[in-house]
Amino acid sequence: MARRVSWQRIFKRVTRERVALLGLLLAVVFGITANGALHAGNYRMGQNGADTSLIGYATAVQALGIVMAAPLMVLLRRMNKNSNLALMAGAAAGTGFLGTFFSDSIGMTFASRFLLGAGIGLGMAITEYLVVSRVRRDVRPVFAVMFGILLAAGHAAGTFLTIMLAVNAILLTILAALLIGSLLLAPWGRLPDEQDGFSFRDLPRIISLSPATFLAAGLFGFLDNGLLSMLPDFFFHSGITKEDVVLTSFAAFAGVCAFQIPAGILVMRYPPALLIRAAVLALIAAVMIMLQTASIQMVRIPMAFILGGLIDVIYTIGLVNLAMDLPRRSLAGANACFVSVCGLGEVLGPTVTGPSLQSFGVGGGTGVVLFMLVGCWFAWAYRDILRIAPA
């Protein structure tokens, strides 16, 4: 009975956070927009004759736009303290989304992908702040898990745009949902006065408050864009059909949804650094198994499911740790930094794996990923050794 009352109490507290719930809905739309444009846009470029290196660079350009989240927030606040971040994010992402699907020029495609990424980065910064950092402290882990699940659901749904490239009605419906969601969130799209001091010189200071958290954001970005987003290209190199590739990508993002609740429960019981190291070790094993069994569907799809879930666990744990560790007055800037560092990883990921895949095949692309995972694991392990060593 006590347990039932406890969950009823949590449910009541969650439903009181109406702005955060609205932010969750917009996060779904941002997920569909970002991942749909990325997967379908990359496939469209491949149809038009682009090689894997060029596709990797286009993926990196979209991520480079995401990196602009923190600098854009600073610039907009300097230009006008009443800048509405929700409206600007919706306008930029919507314009970039249109250009990605309705432009045949490589130059315009790159420009559209950059604008889309900037809108997504700005939108994710404000939605993360409203959904996770602005809510009551006791329900932050709950909202972080919900945010991860719904964002992943949007990413999973976005993968299906690859087989709907010619359906303009669906693309326009997604665009309308993005713009309407931004308008609904507009009343809360301005940062509070307590964030006025946030400027460029604060970025290193904020990152120094929790370096391991921002390292997790960078690693997630590298794996998300350098591995998950490039999965179709990895599998095309292995001779897998388009339908099987779409199914495998969907399985990866379904795994992202499924792993969120366990991640939220574990992060409330165990140190985040320990969980991230465990996830990285499991990722190393998953990547190696997938490399050896790519042509076996019964193994490939479950491994993609596990791989996607493990990658996103790193983001969820980092986001919860960010909201718990940093002072409230720094959270808006910290979320922008978190998104930007994640974006840096997303720029680096496809920039490295795309050419490696083109030049050295599947083994070269996955080799780079494994090297990055091993390096980050040793970095966290060394950090913990320094913490427990006697002065």
List, in order, residues 6 or more apart from 272 with CB less than 8 Å away.
Answer: 212, 213, 216, 317, 318, 320, 321
Q: Name the token pair of 76.
A: 């907009």
**Residue 336 near residue 67 (C-beta atoms within 8 A):** no
Question: How many angstroms separate the CA atoms of 228 and 230, rounded?
Answer: 5
CB count within 10 Å of CB 311 equals 23
List, in order, residues 6 or more apart from 85 with CB less than 8 Å away.
Answer: 73, 76, 122, 123, 125, 126, 189, 190, 191
| % of the chain surpassing 90 pLDDT | 1
Question: How many angstroms separate the CA atoms of 58 and 114, rounded?
Answer: 9
DSSP codes, 255-322: HHHHHHHHHHHHHTTS-HHHHHHHHHHHHHHHHHHHHHSTT-HHHHHHHHHHHHHHHHHHHHHHHHHH
Identity (one letter) of the amino acid at 186? Answer: A
Identity (one letter) of the amino acid at 299? Answer: V
- pLDDT, tens digit only, all 391 positions of the chain: 444 446 677 777 777 888 888 888 888 888 888 877 777 777 778 777 777 778 778 877 887 887 777 677 767 766 766 678 888 889 989 898 888 887 777 888 888 889 898 888 888 878 877 887 777 777 777 787 788 788 878 877 777 776 666 667 788 888 888 899 899 888 887 765 544 455 556 667 777 777 777 888 888 888 887 777 677 666 766 666 667 777 777 788 788 778 877 877 787 778 777 888 888 889 888 888 877 776 777 877 888 888 888 888 888 787 777 767 676 666 666 777 787 788 788 788 877 877 777 777 666 777 788 888 888 888 777 766 766 655 4
**pTM of the predicted structure, to 2 decimals:** 0.65
Q: How far is CA 243 from the centre of its chain?
A: 24
In the chain, count of helices (H) and strands (E)? 15, 0
